Amino acid sequence: MKKLIGPIRQVLTLSQLPLKGALSDEELEVISEGGILLFGEKILKVGKWTELKKEYPEAILEELEGNFVALPGWVDCHTHLCFGGNRAKDFALRIAGKSYLEIAGAGGGIWNTVTQTRSLSVDALAQLTAQHGQRHFTEGVTTIEVKSGYGLSVAEELKMLRAIRQAQATSSADLISTCLAAHLCPKDWKGSSSDYLLEISTHLFPVLLKEKLCHRIDAFVEKSAFTTQEISPYLEKAKQLGFDLTIHADQFSTGGSELAVNLGARSADHLEASGDREIALLAQSSTVAVALPGASIGLGMAFAPARKLLDQGASLAIASDWNPGSAPMGDLLAQASILATFEKLTSAEVITGLTCRAAAALGLSDRGILTTGQFADIILFPTSDYRDILYYQGKMKPEKVWKKGKIALGTMY
What percent of the chain stands above pLDDT 70?
99
Minimal CA–CA distance to 340: which of 369, 367, 356, 316? 316
Longest dimension (CA), the chain: 71
* Superfamily (CATH) of domain 2-73+368-409: Urease, subunit C, domain 1 (2.30.40.10)
pLDDT of residue 16 exceeding 70:
yes
pLDDT of residue 412 exceeding 70:
no
What percent of the chain stands above pLDDT 90?
95
Minimal CA–CA distance to 25: which of 34, 14, 11, 36? 14
Question: Which whole number is the average pLDDT over 391-409?
Answer: 96
Q: Where are the domains of the chain?
A: 2-73+368-409, 75-361
pLDDT of residue 317 exceeding 70:
yes
Minimal CA–CA distance to 46: which of 11, 92, 18, 89? 11
Question: Which whole number is the average pLDDT over 99-122?
Answer: 90
CA atoms of 27 and 45, how far apart (whole Å): 20
pLDDT in tens, 40-72: 999 999 999 999 999 999 999 999 999 999 999
CATH of domain 75-361: 3.20.20.140
pLDDT in tens, 374-387: 999 999 999 999 99
Question: Which whole number is the average pLDDT over 221-242?
Answer: 97
pLDDT of residue 413 exceeding 50:
no
CA atoms of 394 and 149, how far apart (whole Å): 28
Minimal CA–CA distance to 246: which of 91, 67, 48, 80? 80
Q: Which amino acid is at 304?
A: A
CA atoms of 77 and 273, how far apart (whole Å): 20
Mean pLDDT computed over every residue of the chain = 97
Confidence of residue 107 (pLDDT cuts 50, 70, 90): confident
Helix (H) or strand (E) run with residue 55 in it? helix 49-55
Question: Which whole number is the average pLDDT over 122-132?
Answer: 98
Question: Which whole number is the average pLDDT over 202-209?
Answer: 98
